[in-house]
Amino acid sequence: MSLTTYIIFAIIKLAIVLFVLLTAVAYIVLLERKVVARMQNRWGPNRVGPFGLLQPLADGAKFIFKEDIIPDSVYKPLYIAAPMIALILALTSISLIPFGENWKIAGYHVPLEITAFWNGNSIQDINIGLLIILGITSIGVYGVALSGWSSNSKYSLLGSLRASAQLMSYELSLGLSLVGVLLISGSLSLRQIVDSQGGSIVNWNFFGRLQFIAFFIYIMAAYAETNRIPFDLPEAETELVAGYHTEYSSMKFAMFFMAEYCNMVTVACLATILFFGGWHSPFEALHIAAPALWIAISPVFWFVVKVFFFIFLYIWIRGTLPRFRYDQLMAFGWKFLLPLSIANIIVTSLVLALRS
């Protein structure tokens, strides 16, 4: 594939993925409001359009037309840059996620991943994809940290201090929980990690390879990374008004909001790829005959189903659990998750060494 066709396909893929991602983000917000409402015996938004389905459009229009207030005492360059940093970094990581194997369109092989290409006989992707995603998440702290500091407000500063401390503490367990998966698949490339889980549901890291402890560490650390309940102390509204984005209004606030939900989608995608077999169907071992169209679509279908499950899990937990206290949060991260993830690494590598 020549450079020009690669760039053309990359731009088309970028446009489609961004459109789907941003629409998904808008509708995840609606889904969250609806599901949490049903869990609390309410109806949720149901006025705009049938079943309230046009509510995200109304929300978007409201955000755009609201007055954009910049308080006098803020440090302007960073105050304006912070939401952009948060949103750009949240959107960047989706470009490394593989959604499926390969589509043949008009004689061209098109891998279903923005940064991958077809080199003649196989798919070439970034072979340290997982590390790059971890790097992008670790830089994502700056959006939160700088917004709180530059707002020049006590609530914002407290929120962003909490966020930075929390993100750094949980990044450790997050990174270490992935080591077990890496030991099994022997690669940092997301595509190869998925390939190593193919064949049958038994080969998924969660079921057959006994990485469910790593999965629970990952999902808890990831909830803390995305500032979601039960770890949403940076924006605890009972204590901090709204945390780090207290002083933001209009579209700048919406950018933080979108960044948070984009991060949720990325976390759900990574959980799918690392522990639940990526685009592989759970019924693969049965070898059911299917029409060609379904064979082309089914990887994307199963990927989306799994991602949807994790998004729903997020909402479900939000509707169920109360917020941690701050010292409990730190003790949980350092005294429970970290030793557990190290134990998981030791046990996994012992089992692998004894087997080989």
Instruction: Give the closest residue to 159 by CA, choosing from 73, 247, 240.
Output: 240
Look at strands 117-118 and 123-124 and give their pairing: antiparallel
Please give the Cα distance from 145 to 156 (Å, whole number).
9
Distance CA(129)–CA(131), nearest Å, equals 6
Residue from 35, 110, 157, 224 that binds other proteins (CB under 8 A)? 157
The residue among 28 and 130 lying less far from other proteins, judged by its C-beta, is: 130
Residue from 273, 269, 265 nearest 206 by CA:
273
Nearer to other proteins, 3 or 105 (CB): 3
Q: Does residue 25 touch other proteins according to CB under 8 A? A: no
Residue 157 or 254 having the CB closest to other proteins: 157
Query: Rounded distance, CA 111 to CA 13, Å?
Result: 10
* Partners of residue 123 on adjacent β-strands: 118
**How many residues touch other proteins (CB under 8 A)?**
26
Taking CB under 8 A as the binding criterion, the range among 145-153, 203-211, 267-275, 300-308 that sits at the site for other proteins is 145-153
Place of tokens 């206290």: 325
The β-bridge partners of 108 are 105
Q: Which is nearer to other proteins, 78 or 297 (CB)?
A: 78
Residue 141 binding other proteins, by CB under 8 A: yes
User: CB of 186: closest distance to other proteins in angstroms?
Assistant: 8
Q: What are phi and psi of 107, to 5 degrees?
A: 85, -10
224 binds other proteins (CB under 8 A): no
Comparing CB distances to other proteins, the nearer of 55 and 150 is 150
Q: Is 229 in the site for other proteins (CB under 8 A)?
A: no
* 55 contacts 45 by C-beta, under 8 angstroms: yes
**Least distance in angstroms from the C-beta of 83 to other proteins:** 16
Stretch touching other proteins by CB under 8 A, among 34-42, 154-162, 234-242, 320-328: 154-162
* 171 part of the interface to other proteins, by CB under 8 A: yes
Using the rule CB under 8 A, give the single segment among 24-32, 155-163, 242-250, 289-297 that binds other proteins: 155-163
Task: Give phi and psi for 193, each to the nearest 5.
Answer: -65, -40
| Residue 338 identity | L
| Nearest of 273, 250, 274 to residue 83 by alpha carbon | 250
Q: Binding string, 54-93, against other proteins, x = CB under 8 A?
A: ------------------------x---------------
DSSP state of 245: G
Report how far residue 69's alpha carbon sits from residue 121's, in angstroms, rounded to the nearest whole number: 54
Q: Which of 93, 151, 160, 266 binds other proteins (CB under 8 A)?
A: 160
| 162, containing H or E segment | helix 154-177
Please, which of residues 121-140 interact with other proteins by CB under 8 A?
127-128, 131-132, 134-135, 138-139
Residue nearer to other proteins on the CB measure, 162 or 228: 162
Any idea which residue has 């983000």 for tokens? 25
Neighbouring residues of 215: CB distance < 8 A, sequence distance ≥ 6: 177, 205, 206, 271, 275
The answer to whether residue 313 forms part of the interface with other proteins (CB under 8 A) is no
145 binds other proteins (CB under 8 A): yes
146 contributes a contact to other proteins by CB under 8 A = yes
- Binding residues for other proteins, rule: CB under 8 A, are 78, 127-128, 131-132, 134-135, 138-139, 141-142, 145-146, 148-149, 157, 160-161, 164-165, 167-168, 171, 175, 186, 188
